[in-house]
Chains A and B, each alone.
Chain A
Amino acid sequence: MPLQAIAFYLLAFVTIAAGLLVVSARNPVHSVLFLITAFFSAAGLFVLLGAEFLAMLLIVVYVGAVAVLFLFVVMMLDVDFAELRQGFAQYLPIGGLVGGILTLEMVFVAATVATNGAASKNPLPNASPGGVPNTEAIGRVLYTDYVFFFQLAGLVLLVAMIGAIVLTLRHKPGVKRQDIGKQVARTPKTGMELVQIKPGEGISE
């Protein structure tokens, strides 16, 4: 299908270009925006694979929530751009090493597939096994075979959430908070006091 090929190459190009720009953009806010572009194109690649549920989850969870918070934090940072650029030269060797190893591995995989090695014999994963939509397919394995892992993942998230609350929750003394129940229950009797003042004396309190 030429139409799919065009879509694939377009999305793949945008993903990789955006990925490059994430690390090369000077302004961290621009970096985050390019990261979002990369997420978005990756979701497009998922759709091309027929995994539309994963694509939508990627957008809802990562683009719609996680990246918004990234952006939220990065926008409020007071960034010294000169210092950032110094760091670039400092981290270049180790970053280059990691990138080099990854490239090498990918070249090996590509070479194996091209020369009809072991990897090429595996069939393409089917996005909708047994003819059911992949949302249902994921649900069928997630809540049966992998239910303990699923619960465990939920537990990990719960622990992380409680940890965040424990670390940041402080009860400062002397802070006036709104208590709606108290406000609503307030009557003229409890809210005010009638005082008889003698002329020239004022109120003692």
Chain B
Amino acid sequence: MGPTNPLLWFGLTTGGILLVVIWVLLSLAFLLLADRKIWAGVQMRKGPNVVGPFGLLQSFADFFKFVLKEIVIPAGADKAIFLLAPLISLILGFVGWAVVPFAPGWVVSNLNVGILYLLAMSSLGVYGIIMGGWASNSKYPFLGALRSAAQMVSYEVSIGLIIITVILLAGSMNLSTIVEKQSGWIWNWNVFGGGGLKNLVILPVMVVAMGMFYISALAETNRPPFDLPEAESELVAGYQVEYSSTPYLLFMVAEYSNIVLMCAMISVLFFGGWNPGFPITFTAGWPPFLVNFLLALVFYAKIVFWFFMFAMAKAIVPRYRYDQLMRLGWKVFLPTSLVLVAAVAAWRVFGPAA
């Protein structure tokens, strides 16, 4: 696979990485605005509407404001780790995109264990927060960091188990293969059981898995209603209290990149990735680039839909209390996802799909 010349390979891979990063960054600028607009819409406000038409350039104005401000480092802070934390957050927010397949063959690195790689990178995301919170040498950031560590480790468990159900259905850990298995009609999507009408029996199981994955993704990315690491009513802004200017911007970009990555994950794992939900036989004579581009747009539309769901959750759900969060993670999601794994495994062994 790929060109054999190392230099050509290097050039192509670098080009692909640049393309994905620029695409993600540009998308983030507008998704951030969309987030604020949706939130405003629910509360019957207008949201940002001053910079550019409909406020479309608001994110860019914010960007310049952040970059031009002074970086304040607290006196007692561990300087190296304090500055390293947002960088690590940003890097970990973006490396996950390396294995996301945008269209057939459009993926930076087609890893065999792509899904595990995504899980690993999202589990590393906690380091940026915990390092930032500790290095600030202040009470609120530290409490935020500790909360974040416990919260993210707890919800990774259920995310991992739910991912296993999808792996069992697809029989592969390669994200491209998982998406290809869901091609054709809409009932081939994993949320409907994956693999034709005969698998529709486990639809209830997979819908529950999808819902739990969505909620765990909210917790994993520290989004409301699980934004306890930065609960402003208790911890001012949690681990971000001491951060200003560009480091704060990096934290925020990383957070949003992680959220969009989670949206992409839900689309890939449960909703068929680039597959539109009906057989695309009529594109047989079209140039492959055009087809791929259209499929990538389908995938993008799914990501934007899930981002909308994330924004709605932020707008309408009140924040959880910390003990409720832990109870939900350990006493509800963990046993339920274990049962789901057992159910899907049994279906794969004894069901007609075996």
Residue on B with the closest CB to A56? Answer: B116
Residue on B with the closest CB to A67? Answer: B127
Give chain A residues whose Cβ lies under 8 Å from the Cβ of B120: 56, 59-60, 63-64
Give chain A residues whose Cβ lies under 8 Å from the Cβ of B150: 72
Assembly CA distance A52 to B153 (angstroms): 22
A68 and B323 within 8 A (CB): no
Give chain A residues whose Cβ lies under 8 Å from the Cβ of B78: 27, 29
Residue on A with the closest CB to B121? Answer: A59
Residue on B with the closest CB to A30? Answer: B81
A133 and B124 within 8 A (CB): no
In A14-59, the 8 Å CB interface with B consists of 27, 29-30, 33, 36, 52-53, 56-57, 59
A64-B120, A135-B112 are contacts. A3–B6 as well, Cβ < 8 Å?
A: yes
Q: Mark B124-155, 1 if CB is under 8 A from A, else 0.
A: 10110011001000000010011001100100
Q: State whether the Cβ of B336 lies closer than 8 Å to any Cβ in chain A.
A: no
Give chain B residues whose Cβ lies under 8 Å from the Cβ of A1: 6
B130 and A71 within 8 A (CB): yes
Q: Out of B116, B145, B173, name the residue touching A60 (CB < 8 Å).
A: B116
Give chain B residues whose Cβ lies under 8 Å from the Cβ of A33: 81, 131
Q: State whether the Cβ of A69 lies closer than 8 Å to any Cβ in chain B.
A: yes
Binding site of A, secondary structure by majority: helix, strand, loop or mixed? helix
Q: State whether the Cβ of A65 lies closer than 8 Å to any Cβ in chain B.
A: yes
Q: State whether the Cβ of B119 lies closer than 8 Å to any Cβ in chain A.
A: yes
A69 and B153 within 8 A (CB): yes
Q: State whether the Cβ of A107 lies closer than 8 Å to any Cβ in chain B.
A: no
Assembly CA distance A67 to B112 (angstroms): 25
A60 and B134 within 8 A (CB): no
Assembly CA distance A27 to B134 (angstroms): 13
Residue on A with the closest CB to B123? Answer: A64
B146 and A52 within 8 A (CB): no
Give chain B residues whose Cβ lies under 8 Å from the Cβ of A57: 116
B112 and A71 within 8 A (CB): no
A68 and B153 within 8 A (CB): yes
Binding site of B, secondary structure by majority: helix, strand, loop or mixed? helix
Total A-B pairs in contact (CB under 8 Å)? 67
Assembly CA distance A159 to B247 (angstroms): 44
Q: Mark B270-311, 1 if CB is under 8 A from A, else 0.
A: 000000000000000000000000000000000000000000
A59-B124, A60-B120, A63-B124 are contacts. A68–B113 as well, Cβ < 8 Å?
A: no
Give chain A residues whose Cβ lies under 8 Å from the Cβ of B185: none
Residue on A with the closest CB to B116? Answer: A56
Q: Shortest Cβ distance from B77 into chain A, in angstroms?
A: 13
Q: Shortest Cβ distance from A184 into chain B, in angstroms?
A: 14
Interface size of A by CB at 8 A reads 26
Assembly CA distance A2 to B131 (angstroms): 36
A178 and B323 within 8 A (CB): yes
Q: State whether the Cβ of A75 lies closer than 8 Å to any Cβ in chain B.
A: yes
A135 and B113 within 8 A (CB): yes
Residue on A with the closest CB to B152? Answer: A68
Q: Out of A56, A63, A178, name the residue touching B113 (CB < 8 Å).
A: A56
In B93-116, the 8 Å CB interface with A consists of 111-113, 116
Give chain B residues whose Cβ lies under 8 Å from the Cβ of A135: 112-113, 173
Residue on A with the closest CB to B81? Answer: A33
B127 and A36 within 8 A (CB): yes
Q: State whether the Cβ of B156 lies closer than 8 Å to any Cβ in chain A.
A: yes
Q: State whether the Cβ of B347 lies closer than 8 Å to any Cβ in chain A.
A: no
Assembly CA distance A27 to B137 (angstroms): 14
Assembly CA distance A2 to B113 (angstroms): 25
Give chain B residues whose Cβ lies under 8 Å from the Cβ of A30: 81
Q: State whether the Cβ of B66 lies closer than 8 Å to any Cβ in chain A.
A: no
In A120-176, the 8 Å CB interface with B consists of 133, 135
Q: State whether the Cβ of B30 lies closer than 8 Å to any Cβ in chain A.
A: no
Give chain A residues whose Cβ lies under 8 Å from the Cβ of B323: 178
Residue on B with the closest CB to A1? Answer: B6
Assembly CA distance A4 to B124 (angstroms): 25
Q: Shortest Cβ distance from B13 into chain A, in angstroms?
A: 11
Q: State whether the Cβ of B248 lies closer than 8 Å to any Cβ in chain A.
A: no
Q: Out of A3, A27, A53, A72, name the residue touching B146 (CB < 8 Å).
A: A72
Assembly CA distance A3 to B111 (angstroms): 18
A3-B6, A33-B131, A60-B120 are contacts. A65–B113 as well, Cβ < 8 Å?
A: no
Assembly CA distance A133 to B142 (angstroms): 42
Given contacts A29-B78, A72-B130, A75-B142, 18 further A-B contacts (CB under 8 A): A52-B112, A53-B112, A60-B160, A63-B123, A64-B123, A64-B124, A64-B126, A64-B156, A65-B156, A68-B127, A68-B153, A69-B153, A71-B127, A75-B130, A75-B134, A75-B145, A133-B112, A178-B323
Can you list the 9 inter-chain pairs with the closest CB atoms, starting with the nearest? A64-B123, A56-B116, A59-B120, A60-B120, A133-B112, A56-B113, A52-B113, A75-B134, A56-B120
Q: Can you report 9 residue pairs joining A to B where beta carbons are below 8 Å apart?
A: A27-B78, A33-B131, A60-B123, A60-B160, A69-B153, A71-B130, A72-B146, A135-B113, A135-B173
**Residues in B lying within 8 Å of A, measured CB to CB:** 6, 78, 81, 111-113, 116-117, 119-120, 123-124, 126-127, 130-131, 134, 142, 145-146, 149-150, 153, 156, 160, 173, 323
